Amino acid sequence: MSDTRLTRSLEDLLAPYARRTEQVLQRWLIEPGTPKSLADAMGYCVFGDGKRVRPALVWMAAEAAGDCPEQELTARSAVAVELVHCYSLVHDDLPEMDDDELRRGRPTAHVQFGQAMAVLAGDALLTRAFGVLAEGRNATASRLAMELAAAAGPAGMVAGQVADMGLCPLPHGYEGLEYIHARKTAAMIRAAARMGAISVGADDRTLAAVSDYGESVGTVFQLVDDLLDATGRAETLGKTPGKDRTGGKRTSVSELGLDAARRLAASLTARAAHALAPLGGRGDRLRELAQLLAERTY
Amino acid sequence: MSDTRLTRSLEDLLAPYARRTEQVLQRWLIEPGTPKSLADAMGYCVFGDGKRVRPALVWMAAEAAGDCPEQELTARSAVAVELVHCYSLVHDDLPEMDDDELRRGRPTAHVQFGQAMAVLAGDALLTRAFGVLAEGRNATASRLAMELAAAAGPAGMVAGQVADMGLCPLPHGYEGLEYIHARKTAAMIRAAARMGAISVGADDRTLAAVSDYGESVGTVFQLVDDLLDATGRAETLGKTPGKDRTGGKRTSVSELGLDAARRLAASLTARAAHALAPLGGRGDRLRELAQLLAERTY
């Protein structure tokens, strides 16, 4: 199998979901009364060359879990997880954090708009994510916001970034790295899958299956990111490659080595597929996504 | 009337509400799984010498609007508005924003914990605010989150800070300042009053009254802040006084002059009292709060 074919296939699978996501992002991102300069910065952070993996997981999990996938709350969840993802990139890129100047092949938000606007655009995106969910105006919308807040908050994604910045003690070796990856990456990917299922009223068994799937896929996602950073090229990645290695940053590859990291990714991908067993054929597309994400080259 | 008596009275009025707020903050602020260093930073940003005006407005508006004020959603709203307020102080104090080193008589969060942790603690507080609301798990919780997101978000408080940082064009003179104050300060104070009323299921007439009241009180709050900054002393304020003036920053006092700013505050305080007319005697405590806030000396 050539990389080119796989790349095209992942794009093919994601493309229709990405289009749906762009549409609802366009509809809900900017509230009336937002200053134009802030709206421009928010748009810059959200619209670009992203794969829209997290909202795709929302849509796909909703399709796998429900009979009527065109729910408004599914769309709101897709927007909310993507806005939280975008806010986290903007704040993580800040000079006081990872100090990155290139993201998705373009200058990062603070390079483009200045550091104050980058902090504020991130704050605006995070707040707007919960606003878009809350505008669902029912108990399920509240349940979805609980999921999002838990995954993105101080015991989730923020904890992961605190740990990644060396701001809390961690076990040595891969165990410490697992702590970071589980919170910084996997928590939001798991939440995306869960929110898709919850948005269509999934039963407990389906929710548990989708949840286990999301956790494994989330870990694989980070493993593959590390593998690509160790082996990839700038023009394919759209960000500075080898930065982890040259910065002396611990990654799955530095802790496990290339081969073991690859084997772990393959084993977790199989586990993700297995988790979907209770869904039968309805889980096929999620299974395909897990496989293609594990084999992605960008 | 001596300032001392008034100061004591405002403290007396706020004290029981502040105690209630501390209790629920203690209960809900830190989720299990939060890294200790992050929990410490969040606690530092939240527990200190604050007046807890916004949560007091939540509790008081709930008392004025409902027959059964001990609602869980009132407590959740009180916590959420205070966490959003605290997050905004932490991010506003950052070197790339207002670059303040003293807040409530103590080093600001980035001085105490470093800039990365300050950004992250702010992000954590904002996310936790919506988490605490969402854990209410019903349609009203969702309605409350809508209010909070609208007031705090890109067309509300974030817009106010964007404008205050000079990051969007504004009308000259007091009109431009009004734009900032309406969004940076009054929007959240209005939202606090509204959320208190909504949390106990207020009818439309009551909600409109409380809403108009909150808007006027919010504007007065900022006017008094500007007056105190122009005339106050460091030991009373607990932050660097005269900073606005020495920094060449426009304030109500620089645009209107001391006397006109005082007259405007008095007139808006009367307007706040008038807005409460539909509530009759149930509005007495809110009316008292407006008066004491207008006359405060700290």
Q: What's the rounded Cα separation, in Å, for the pair A28 and A88?
A: 19
* Alpha-carbon distance values, A298 to A295, B11, B93 (Å): 9, 59, 38
Q: What's the rounded Cα separation, in Å, for the pair A283 and A275?
A: 10
B contacts of A37 (beta carbons < 8 Å)? 162, 167-168
In one letter, which amino acid is B124? A
Tell me the whole-structure pTM to 2 decimals.
0.94
How many domains in chain B? 1
B contacts of A152 (beta carbons < 8 Å)? 127
B contacts of A127 (beta carbons < 8 Å)? 126, 149, 152-154, 158
Phi, psi of A96 (to 5 degrees): -75, -10
Phi, psi of A97 (to 5 degrees): -110, -110
Which residue in the block uniquely carries the two structure tokens 């959320």?
A: B195
Establish if B298 belongs to a structural domain: no
Task: Specify the pLDDT at position A104.
Answer: 84
Per the prediction, chain B carries an average pLDDT of: 92
With CB atoms and an 8 Å threshold, state whether B38 touches A154: yes
B contacts of A97 (beta carbons < 8 Å)? 116, 119
* Alpha-carbon distance values, A119 to A122, A253, B120, B158 (Å): 5, 31, 11, 10
A contacts of B167 (beta carbons < 8 Å)? 35, 37-38, 114, 116-117, 120
With CB atoms and an 8 Å threshold, state whether B152 touches A33: no
Establish if B148 belongs to a structural domain: yes
Please name the residue of chain B whose CA is at the shortest distance from the CA of residue A144.
Answer: B134
Could you give the ipTM of this predicted complex?
0.94
The mean pLDDT of A189-218, rounded to a whole number, is 97
Q: Within 10 A of B60 (CB to CB), how many other CB atoms are there?
A: 23
Question: Would you list the DSSP string of A107-123?
Answer: E-HHHHH-HHHHHHHHH
A contacts of B114 (beta carbons < 8 Å)? 96, 167
Which residue in the block uniquely carries the two structure tokens 């407990």?
A: A204
B contacts of A134 (beta carbons < 8 Å)? 142-146, 148-149
Which residue in the block uniquely carries the two structure tokens 């039968």?
A: A280
User: Does the pLDDT of residue B44 top 60, yes or no?
Assistant: yes
Q: What's the rounded Cα separation, in Å, for the pair B202 and A142?
A: 20
> Which of the residues B162, B184, B195 would you substitute to probe the A interface, choosing the one with the greatest number of A C-beta atoms within 10 Å?
B162
Task: Specify the pLDDT at position A175.
Answer: 94
Contact B263, B271 (CB under 8 A): no
Q: What's the rounded Cα separation, in Å, for the pair A140 and B130?
A: 15
With CB atoms and an 8 Å threshold, state whether B154 touches A94: no
CA B283, B284, B285, B289 dihedral sign is positive
With CB atoms and an 8 Å threshold, state whether B162 touches A117: yes
Closest CB to A91 among B119, B141, B142? B119
The secondary structure of residue A195, as a DSSP letter, is H
pLDDT digits 0-9 by tens, B123-133? 999 999 999 99
The mean pLDDT of A135-142, rounded to a whole number, is 96
Q: How many residues does chain B have?
A: 298
Helix ranges, B29-52 (H):
36-46
Closest CB to B162 among A32, A38, A128? A38
Closest CB to A149 among B134, B149, B165? B134
Domain extent, residue A237, equals 3-294
The secondary structure of residue B106, as a DSSP letter, is E
Residue A118: HSE in the Cβ half-sphere, 13 Å Cα cutoff:
25
In one letter, which amino acid is B117? M
User: Does the pLDDT of residue B158 top 80, yes or no?
Assistant: yes
Q: What's the rounded Cα separation, in Å, for the pair B75 and B58?
A: 8
Task: Specify the pLDDT at position A243.
Answer: 57
B contacts of A117 (beta carbons < 8 Å)? 162, 165, 167
Phi, psi of B87 (to 5 degrees): -60, -40
Q: What's the rounded Cα separation, in Å, for the pair B167 and B183?
A: 14
The secondary structure of residue B170, as a DSSP letter, is -
> Which of the residues A42, A130, A132 would you substitute to probe the B interface, choosing the one with the greatest number of B C-beta atoms within 10 Å?
A130
With CB atoms and an 8 Å threshold, state whether A142 touches B134: yes
CA B124, B148, B168, B219 dihedral sign is negative
> What pLDDT band is residue B231 in, cutting at 50, 70 and 90?
confident
pLDDT digits 0-9 by tens, A276-297? 999 999 999 999 999 999 998 8
Question: A102 pairs with which residues across the strands?
Answer: A107
With CB atoms and an 8 Å threshold, state whether A134 touches B155: no
Task: Specify the pLDDT at position B128.
Answer: 98
A vs B, Cβ pairs < 8 A, gives: 199
Task: Specify the pLDDT at position A210.
Answer: 98
CATH number at residue A130: 1.10.600.10
User: Does the pLDDT of residue B263 top 90, yes or no?
Assistant: yes
pLDDT digits 0-9 by tens, A69-119? 569 999 999 999 999 999 999 999 999 999 999 998 899 999 999 999 999
The secondary structure of residue B155, as a DSSP letter, is T
